[in-house]
């Protein structure tokens, strides 16, 4: 594991007894003394997630995620106390399960404390001045948070609360550390450090009690695969092994309000089955926190979500368990802060058993700290509000990589990333996050559990159930080309780009039929969340339109004019076959004689793919374009927001249809901005209400303000 560039003495370590175990939490401790008030630096690389406390105060959270066989190194500035004390505590989670939000590799911690250009503490199996301890306060046998992320947070605290964070703490049961020999290449962080500021809710809160648990309601509740199909569908603990199945309890619970109270310095006393709910006004992403004083032995649940459904915090609205629970003995006084980030507007604290006083409800933000471009002058109030919501969505989804949503998945999806990258460039004047995002896709020679040449649909992640989206792999080539032409990519990446692009072209070549079109692609062929995705076989025309665009992009990246000629042939063949009755059909299938027959299915999104990829042209397909501008869709199957409507909005702007673009963008997104302060995955509130690609709406609004006056 090469380390000279980043670490002088530290090596990657992990407790030997915890290797291969799921959902473990380890604290690493070093108490050193330097000159009073001296600045120091913590060099940190760890997996899968870490949090730093220095002299009892939060000092950092990471890491910036990296590809398989790699890790990014953070360098956090810290300062010694007036007495010269540097009490460093680093909590590291090793989840031990494949997810969509990080790679499935051995957990580790590699840290150096540097003061006055001298390493004063470092991790090593022996002699490094860092001791470690398994934090058994975290309950291991917990439910998965979602199919895409690891486990919910469950804790069983002692009467002393969280003593391991205090200066001078000596692990009672120090773990025997072993060097982690799994090879990783160190990479620089590359992106800005997060905003870790604290946000408090509105002063008015709601409180009330629960209605009786109902077995009938549980029987009717959704049986999520990440809980009930474990370990068949994903790794974790099966229901029978979970210590306390909070989702089962909550599935049969209803909340009844009995009044409003003011949140302030006075703690709120809650008895069994009593709750208080705070409102932060807008969706935020970060770590829910509160102070709890247990008057009796207490089991407490923290619930949260982006919206209310029938005046309820519906913990599993978006297919994840938006809840965590804590057990505290009588007399315990704990200032609790969640370890993992979540997204919510509403935070609800429920005492399930016992009695406790709760106070200091808050959220520690985990979002981008990069300054963003100000709004154009003269922007209408409605457009300004939507733009602010787009920026809020950007800050929470553009941190170390581009994420689809900061809650259920925290995954770096292709295609989404193209639009968020455009927003980053427009709003920050740079593409630092995009470079890290693309670098992760380039540095790995071959991705496990995928066919040769294919790339993951989201990354850094694992290919759960060996699934991939061939369409999203094409978007990687399109984004690489656009990033190199329009934004910035290091020239030294060219060999990596060529290797990745050639690998993908080689993969797709095996699916070309006698007409040169892609046919019967494998795995999850995805066009968008609409009726159009029912017509993806045998020859899907939106996919082949995208293939034509991909070949054009590859021709530029590889400087190969033969690929450009091939792209023209694919586009011409699609126009020849798919153009029917003044619009493009979605697919063609083989009949019993093996002939390719174009179906009568035609979707709105297919038309947008045609214009987006250059297969159609407004000067050639003028009548179709004018119908689309008028929103005269006729029998076309309706498009969804991603990617159809996003393509539509941009196409309207590109062709000077400013009034239609302005009207539709504001009509679509203003209700979201008013309700959550962020922009949603769909036009409906059934899933994520905070999605990364929607930050592109800010780009469109700014274009409308400058081009469409």
Backbone angles phi, psi at 155, to 5 degrees: -135, 150
Q: Is there a contact between 629 and 623 (Cβ–Cβ < 8 Å)? A: no
- d(CA 135, CA 342) in angstroms, rounded, equals 22
Backbone angles phi, psi at 359, to 5 degrees: -155, 175
Separation of alpha carbons 630 and 613, rounded Å? 21
Note the helical H segments in 521-592. 541-558, 561-578
Contact 301, 247 (CB under 8 A): no
For 691-704, what is the mean pLDDT?
98
User: Averaged over 452-480, what is the pLDDT?
Assistant: 98
Instruction: Tally Cβ neighbours within 10 Å of residue 497.
Output: 22
pLDDT classification of 575: cutoffs 50, 70, 90: very high
pLDDT one-digit tens code per residue, 53-110? 999 999 999 999 999 999 999 999 999 999 999 999 999 999 999 999 999 999 999 9
**Tens-place pLDDT, residues 374-392:** 999 999 999 999 999 999 9
Structure tokens at 600: 């009568």
- Residue 433 phi/psi, 5-degree rounding, is -70, -40
Residues sharing a CB contact under 8 Å with residue 311, sequence separation 6 or more, in sequence order: 255, 257
The secondary structure of 621-639 as a DSSP string is: SHHHHHHHHTT--TTPBPP
> Residue 3: which pLDDT band, with cuts at 50, 70 and 90?
very low
Helix, strand, or coil here: 467?
Answer: coil
Of 367, 371, 504, 380, nearest in space to 446 by CA: 504
Cα–Cα dist 32/78, whole Å: 13
Please compute, for residue 337, the number of CA atoms within 13 A of its CA located in the half-sphere on the CB side.
Answer: 22
pLDDT tens digit sequence for 502-543: 999 999 999 999 999 999 999 999 999 999 999 999 999 999
Q: How many CA atoms lie within 13 A of 515 on its CB side?
A: 18
**In whole angstroms, what is the distance from residue 247 CA to residue 561 CA?**
57
Q: What was the pLDDT predicted at 169?
A: 92
- pLDDT mean over 150-167: 95
pLDDT at 589 over 60: yes
Q: Is the pLDDT of residue 454 over 50?
A: yes
State the pLDDT confidence band at 178, using cuts at 50, 70 and 90: very high
Both tokens assigned to 496: 């990596």
Whole-model pTM: value is 0.96
pLDDT attached to residue 168: 86
In 271-401, the DSSP E strands lie at 274-294, 298-305, 323-328, 333-337, 342-353, 356-365
Q: Which domains does the chain have, with CATH numbers?
A: 13-136+160-188 (2.60.120.260), 198-365 (2.60.120), 381-707 (1.50.10.10)
Q: Give the dihedral sign, CA 648/649/655/661.
A: positive
- Extract the tokens encoding 645: 């409507």
Query: How far, in Å, CA of 608 to CA of 615, rounded?
Result: 10
pLDDT of residue 22: 98
Torsion of CA 684, 529, 462, 150, to 10 degrees: 20
CA distance 4 to 58: 28
Listing DSSP states for 29-92 in one string gives EEEEE-STT-EEEEEEEEESEEEEEETTEEEEEE-----TTEEEEEEEEEE--TT-EEEEEEEE
CA atoms of 602 and 491, how far apart (whole Å): 42
Whole-angstrom distance, CA of residue 247 vs CA of residue 436: 36
- pLDDT at residue 402 is higher than 70: yes
Tokens encoding 459: 């990354």
Please check whether residue 67 is in contact with residue 441, taking contact to mean a CB–CB distance below 8 angstroms.
yes
pLDDT at 1 over 70: no
Cα–Cα distances (Å) from 280 to 265, 363, 480, 675, 679, in that order, read: 17, 9, 38, 12, 16
pLDDT of residue 363: 98
Q: Residue 219 has what pLDDT?
A: 75
Measured in whole angstroms, how far is the alpha carbon of residue 241 from the centre of its chain?
A: 28
Q: What is the pLDDT of residue 345?
A: 98
Alpha helices, DSSP H only, in 280-402?
A: 381-397
Per-residue pLDDT at 2 exceeds 60: no
């Amino acid at each position: 594991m090469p380390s000279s560039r980043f670490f002088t003495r530290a090596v990657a370590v992990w407790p030997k007894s915890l290797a291969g175990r799921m959902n473990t939490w380890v604290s690493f401790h070093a108490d050193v003394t330097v000159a009073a008030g001296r600045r120091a630096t913590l060099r940190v690389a760890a997996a899968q997630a870490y949090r730093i406390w220095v002299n009892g105060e939060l000092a950092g959270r990471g890491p910036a995620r990296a590809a398989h066989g790699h890790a990014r190194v953070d360098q956090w500035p810290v300062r010694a106390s007036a007495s010269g004390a540097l009490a460093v505590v680093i909590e590291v989670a090793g989840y031990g399960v494949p997810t969509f939000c990080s790679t499935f590799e051995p957990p580790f911690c590699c840290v150096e404390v540097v003061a006055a250009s001298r390493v004063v503490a470092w991790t090593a199996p022996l002699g490094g001045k860092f001791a470690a301890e398994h934090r058994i306060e975290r309950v291991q046998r917990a439910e998965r948070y979602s199919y895409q992320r690891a486990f919910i947070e469950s804790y069983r605290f002692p009467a002393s609360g969280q003593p391991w964070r205090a200066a001078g703490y000596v692990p009672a049961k120090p773990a025997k550390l072993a060097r982690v020999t799994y090879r990783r290449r160190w990479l620089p962080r590359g992106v800005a450090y997060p905003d870790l500021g604290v946000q408090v809710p509105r002063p008015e809160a709601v409180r009330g009690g629960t209605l009786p648990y109902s077995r009938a309601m549980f029987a009717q509740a959704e049986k999520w695969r990440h809980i009930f199909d474990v370990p068949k569908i994903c790794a974790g603990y099966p229901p029978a092994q979970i210590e306390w199945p909070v989702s089962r309890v909550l599935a049969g619970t209803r909340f009844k309000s009995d009044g409003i109270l003011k949140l302030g310095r006075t703690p709120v006393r809650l008895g069994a089955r009593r709750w208080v709910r705070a409102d932060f006004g807008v969706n935020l992403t970060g770590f829910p926190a509160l102070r709890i004083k247990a008057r009796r032995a207490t089991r407490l649940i923290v619930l949260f979500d982006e919206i209310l459904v029938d005046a309820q915090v519906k913990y599993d609205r978006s297919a994840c368990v938006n809840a965590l629970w804590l057990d505290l003995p009588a007399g315990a006084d704990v200032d609790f802060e969640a370890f993992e980030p979540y997204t919510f507007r509403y935070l609800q604290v429920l005492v399930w058993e016992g009695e406790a006083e709760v106070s200091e409800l808050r959220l520690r933000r985990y979002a981008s700290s990069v300054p963003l471009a100000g709004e154009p002058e003269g922007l209408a109030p409605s457009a300004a509000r939507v733009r602010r919501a787009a920026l809020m969505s950007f800050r929470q989804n553009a941190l170390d990589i581009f994420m689809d949503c900061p809650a259920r998945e925290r995954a770096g999806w292709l295609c989404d990333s193209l639009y968020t990258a455009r927003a980053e460039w427009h709003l920050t004047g740079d593409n630092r996050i995009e470079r890290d995002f693309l670098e992760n896709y380039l540095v790995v020679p071959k991705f496990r559990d995928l066919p040769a040449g294919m790339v993951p649909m989201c990354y850094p992640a694992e290919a759960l159930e060996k699934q991939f989206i061939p369409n999203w792999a094409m978007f990687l080539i399109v984004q690489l080309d656009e990033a190199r032409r329009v934004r910035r990519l290091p020239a030294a990446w060219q060999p990596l780009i060529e290797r990745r692009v050639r690998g993908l072209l080689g993969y797709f070549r095996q699916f070309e039929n006698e007409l040169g079109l892609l046919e019967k692609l494998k795995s999850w062929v995805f066009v968008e969340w609409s009726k159009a995705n029912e017509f993806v076989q045998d020859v899907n025309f939106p996919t082949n339109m995208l293939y034509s665009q991909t070949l054009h992009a590859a021709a530029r990246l590889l400087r190969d004019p033969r690929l450009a000629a091939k792209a023209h042939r694919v586009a011409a063949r699609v126009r020849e076959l798919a153009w029917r009755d003044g619009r493009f059909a979605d697919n063609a299938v083989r009949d019993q004689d093996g002939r390719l027959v174009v179906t009568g299915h035609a979707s709105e999104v297919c038309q947008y793919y045609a214009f987006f990829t250059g297969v159609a042209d407004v000067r050639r397909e003028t009548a179709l374009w004018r119908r689309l501008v008028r929103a005269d869709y006729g029998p076309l199957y309706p498009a969804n927001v991603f990617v159809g409507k996003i393509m539509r909005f941009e196409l309207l702007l590109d062709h000077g249809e400013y009034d239609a673009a302005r009207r539709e963008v504001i009509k679509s997104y203003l209700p979201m901005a008013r309700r959550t302060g962020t922009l949603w995955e769909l036009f409906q509130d059934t899933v994520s209400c905070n999605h990364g690609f929607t930050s592109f709406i800010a780009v469109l609004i700014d274009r409308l303000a400058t081009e469409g006056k």
